[in-house]
């Protein structure tokens, strides 16, 4: 059902890159409110085209209509949230230190800092969120919000949807500088664009293998550029004995719902569940897994990857199937669950501490806190880590969370990692291999920071300062002036 | 006069790394006020040992006493400024979004985000600031402030001073977790430490060649880590015809003072001066350069690098000496100045757009704004760019600054780039090769951000939250709560 991806012709890519480069300065100069209007216009256009886009997405991704409708709503919500942020203005991170002739280290000049866009950004779309992490997804929204032109490398999993979405976005950006947004297709095209000196940052969501290769490529350029990859995550969940006693069955069902949601094709899918030995939940877990309807995966390549990961997992001595996954005749996949102990896990890290993308997970039983903590310490970087504990088990949950904090970007208590709220406090990131840049998030308000760099003006006269840095705070944005946050104008000084 | 550097023994390095790793969690858990006390104690100890440290620095760096005394004052000022920042608390970047069951995208959990330290940081000291960018310099101060243990790779240019400073720092940190700070010596030791999985970030100030090699090494690890290198910068200065008319002689003297300061061994040394053709300042420039006393450079290797860069520069057809630099019999160096045109500059970018570390600079004459803008567009990344313009030349200065902003981290009007104020609005960074991370600064309050990563807690009960995220704001720090900045406690909610 999926259309064909063709490599963008090199002359076309050259035009796209030249236009993006020439759009960079006018887009950067656009007042934040005007950029907000552009984002709102993209959101409105996507909403208005939902009836055309959702069926296309359904056909190319095999995801159900309700999920896709919700995902499109999330995508346009996100665009509007960045628009709100642009109007509020604190993202500009304005700091003004007025001149201080009596500074202890000697006379200090007038210094005014704000952030400015990095320049054209190459965004690699993901397959598993054909709206929210694709053409008009979070990376595109945050790069455009930052004032960076976007070259969008389409994911081959949904080429027709990508083209149609790009048309909607391009039309909605009719008032933006020419070159603000363009689509590019094909693996080689993506690599060529990433190596082009006019591209100033990359963003990617996908596998560790592909993401690391692109990250290395970005780092190999004569001018290396920031590359924000969201790669692989196991999203381990830890359950204490008290939590099993208090609500073991609820936890078992919650876990199965979470790891099978969307056929297990979420970057936040819990791929490991740690249960105390003798937990008594095996039957409940097995029943819950068997109760999940088989579902089509995003595409054949993804399904092949899943079955090959499963094969490697099942081959590890000490790993036993609780419920064997199966690929039906029509290609749909029913979920699987495996079991092993902490010593088996630790002895087979290369296989068992690797993400398996799809509806399968591993239940690991532990003997006491030493094994629990050893397993936590063995983890690589993750987007999330989850703890279920009883209220009288803070002595376990406390040190466990402290350990997990070294290995995850989001710590969830008594819940599940799937479902990433689009919210200012959200952090969707984590140490490698969860991301290639542990300082940054790809979801939430602060995602914009990835595409902004500071610039400081020293002793510049008013008329040479960009508007956010002038004495007269005509944008009414919050600014840190001589150590105090204020939205007021600066009173005239003798500079 | 310089002592000998020896490679730290590998067993010693192993102990240093193990101790740094074991210090990471206790140091992270230390309340910011306690970390502030540690920084203050280091500052006090350095001040108290000035009489011993400054003469050592003089002997090993050839820099004059007054400069070194001032530099030590800057170093301890910097430590105290980070201490102030720790007590104020906004560096924690706390964002709290309370639960919202009626959120348009579905019920939203309680989300609370703050930043936490990355873990042990490997700091490579620089030669040209034996205090401010060395053992207890800005990188060490900001990493410790962030709560990261520091392994300091000493610069071979001042080994005795490095050891003595490290002793002072270590003694001052007696109350800190064991492993908070240690010195390591030798090139191979530095490389081995950078590749060690216990090191979670690197910081470096030095040459493009060395910095790029280390940055690539950090990126080549199984777990790549953030590497903050401050490498090379030309710091071009542009002078308009009106500025020449209004104060040409003052500009000529200011420029010569700036590029010869500290024997031209500043990362902000102006290495290019653009003057309109027919500027008539050649004699004045030559006289000013001849008036500068010869000075000893930091060491023989630096001097050899300088003379070899000079050779390459002087060999370019079209580059003429205005004043030839000279190495005196006693090894001291008298400054040099060269001249060429914009077409020569653009035809020889590989040689002429490279930093030449030492007391030499290049005057480039331009014909009209087209050449001026073409030269600005040809620049790679710089720490600074400077414009001198007359008040009636905004039509030139405006577009010029707009272009320069793409290529520099700090834009100076009618001043000089040397002298980097330690101030919240300072940005000491810029696009590659000025730095390996254009989003960050190595001077000023925001330097701390390099060593912090966000973590989000979802639905965690009060007693499992770190103190900055609890309802009761016992640290009294500013927090963004449901979109509003406040230092108040959260009123009890039903979570």
Write down the pLDDT at residue A492. 60
Task: Work out the mean pLDDT of chain A and round it to a whole number.
Answer: 96
Residues of A in contact with B456 (CB under 8 A): 409-411, 425-427
CA–CA min distance A397, chain B (Å): 8
Q: Let me know whether B218 and B277 are in one domain.
A: no
Task: Work out the mean pLDDT of chain B and round it to a whole number.
Answer: 96
In angstroms, the CA A307 to CA A324 distance is 11
Which of B70, B85, B394, B456 to probe by mutation at the A interface, max A CB count within 10 Å?
Answer: B456
A99: contact with B, CB 8 A cutoff: no
Write down the pLDDT at residue A4. 80
Q: Let me know whether A67 and A90 are in one domain.
A: yes
In angstroms, the CA B421 to CA B401 distance is 21
B171: contact with A, CB 8 A cutoff: no
- Between CA B90 and CA B95, with CA B91 as vertex, the angle to 5 degrees is 65
Q: Answer whether residue A58 is part of any domain.
A: yes
Write down the pLDDT at residue B491. 85
Write down the pLDDT at residue A493. 55
Distance of CA B283 to the CA centre of its chain: 35
**Quick check: A61 pLDDT over 80?**
yes
What is the three-class DSSP state of B229? strand
**Quick check: A495 pLDDT over 60?**
no
For residue B492, name the pLDDT band (cuts at 50, 70, 90): low
Q: Let me know whether B246 and B143 are in one domain.
A: no
**Quick check: A74 pLDDT over 80?**
yes
Q: Let me know whether B245 and B213 are in one domain.
A: no
For residue B493, name the pLDDT band (cuts at 50, 70, 90): low
For residue B433, name the pLDDT band (cuts at 50, 70, 90): very high
Q: Answer whether residue A432 is part of any domain.
A: no
Closest by Cα among B280, B264, B278 to B325: B264
Query: Are the beta carbons of B458 and A412 separated by less than 8 Å?
Result: yes
Q: Let me know whether A172 and A189 are in one domain.
A: yes
Q: Let me know whether B211 and B243 are in one domain.
A: no
Q: Let me know whether A172 and A258 are in one domain.
A: no
CA–CA min distance A284, chain B (Å): 26
Mean pLDDT of A339-363: 96
Q: Which domain holds residue B334?
A: 236-413
Number of domains in chain A: 2
Nearest CA in chain A to B485: A485
A457: contact with B, CB 8 A cutoff: yes
Q: Let me know whether A60 and A199 are in one domain.
A: yes
Write down the pLDDT at residue B119. 98
Write down the pLDDT at residue B333. 96
Residues of B in contact with A96 (CB under 8 A): 425
Q: Let me know whether A203 and A347 are in one domain.
A: no
Mean pLDDT of B292-307: 94
Nearest CA in chain B to A77: B105
Active site residue A230: yes
Q: Answer whether residue B489 is part of any domain.
A: no
**Quick check: A494 pLDDT over 60?**
no
Q: Let me know whether A227 and A263 are in one domain.
A: no
pLDDT digits (tens, 9 = 90+) for A173-232: 999 999 999 999 999 999 999 999 999 999 999 999 999 999 999 999 999 999 999 999
Query: Are the beta carbons of B423 and A108 separated by less than 8 Å?
Result: yes
Query: Are the beta carbons of B105 and A449 separated by less than 8 Å?
Result: no
- Burial (CB count within 10 angstroms: exposed 0-12, middle 13-18, buried 19+), residue B309: middle
B441: contact with A, CB 8 A cutoff: yes
Write down the pLDDT at residue A491. 85
**Quick check: B115 pLDDT over 70?**
yes
Closest by Cα among B175, B133, B140 to B155: B133
Looking up residue A37, the CATH number of its domain turns out to be: 3.40.605.10
pLDDT digits (tens, 9 = 90+) for B337-382: 999 999 999 999 999 999 999 999 999 999 999 999 999 999 999 9
Q: Let me know whether A171 and A250 are in one domain.
A: no
Q: Answer whether residue A425 is part of any domain.
A: no
For residue B6, name the pLDDT band (cuts at 50, 70, 90): confident
């Amino acid at each position: 059902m999926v259309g064909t991806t063709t490599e963008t012709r090199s002359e076309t890519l050259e035009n796209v890159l030249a236009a993006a480069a020439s759009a960079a300065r006018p887009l950067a100069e656009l007042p934040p409110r005007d950029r907000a209007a552009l984002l709102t216009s993209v959101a409105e256009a996507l909403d208005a085209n939902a009836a055309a886009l959702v069926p296309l997405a359904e056909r190319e991704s095999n995801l159900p209509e309700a999920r896709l409708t919700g995902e499109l709503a999330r995508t346009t919500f996100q665009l509007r949230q960045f628009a709100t942020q642009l109007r509020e203005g604190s993202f500009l991170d304005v700091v003004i230190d007025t001149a201080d002739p009596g500074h202890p280290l000697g006379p200090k000049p007038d210094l005014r800092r704000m952030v400015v866009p990095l320049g054209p950004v190459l965004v690699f779309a993901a397959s598993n969120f054909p709206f929210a992490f694709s053409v008009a997804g979070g990376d595109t929204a945050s790069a455009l919000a930052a004032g960076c032109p976007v070259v969008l490398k389409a994911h081959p999993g949904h080429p027709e949807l990508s083209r149609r979405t790009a048309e909607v976005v391009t039309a909605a950006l009719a008032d933006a500088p020419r070159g603000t947004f363009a689509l590019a297709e094909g693996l080689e095209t993506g690599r060529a664009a990433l190596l082009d000196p006019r591209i100033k940052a990359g963003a990617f969501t996908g596998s560790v293998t592909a993401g690391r290769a692109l990250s290395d490529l970005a780092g190999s350029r004569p001018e290396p550029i920031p590359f924000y990859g969201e790669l692989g995550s196991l999203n381990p969940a830890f359950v204490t004995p008290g939590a099993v006693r208090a609500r073991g069955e609820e936890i078992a069902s919650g876990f199965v719902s979470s790891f099978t949601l969307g056929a297990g094709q979420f970057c936040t899918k819990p791929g490991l569940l740690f249960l105390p030995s003798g937990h008594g939940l095996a039957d409940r877990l097995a029943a819950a897994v068997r109760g999940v309807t088989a579902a089509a995966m995003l595409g054949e390549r993804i399904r092949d990857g899943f079955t090959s990961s499963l094969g490697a997992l099942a081959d590890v001595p000490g790993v036993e199937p609780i419920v064997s996954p199966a690929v039906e005749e029509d290609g749909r996949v029913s979920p699987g669950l495996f079991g092993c102990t902490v010593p088996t896990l630790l002895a087979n890290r290369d296989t068992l501490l690797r993400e398996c993308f799809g509806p399968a997970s591993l239940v690991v039983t532990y003997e006491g806190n030493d094994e629990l903590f050893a397993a936590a310490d063995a983890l690589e970087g993750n987007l999330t880590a989850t703890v279920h504990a009883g209220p009288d088990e803070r002595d376990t949950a406390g040190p466990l969370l402290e350990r997990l904090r070294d290995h995850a970007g989001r710590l969830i208590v008594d819940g599940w990692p799937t479902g990433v709220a689009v919210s200012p406090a959200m952090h969707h990131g984590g140490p490698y291999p969860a991301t290639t840049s542990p300082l940054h998030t790809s979801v939430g308000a602060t995602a914009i920071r990835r595409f902004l760099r500071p610039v400081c003006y020293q002793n510049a006269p008013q008329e040479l300062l960009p508007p956010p840095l002038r004495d007269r705070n005509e944008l009414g944005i919050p600014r840190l002036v001589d150590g105090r946050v204020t939205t007021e104008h600066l009173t005239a000084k003798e500079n």
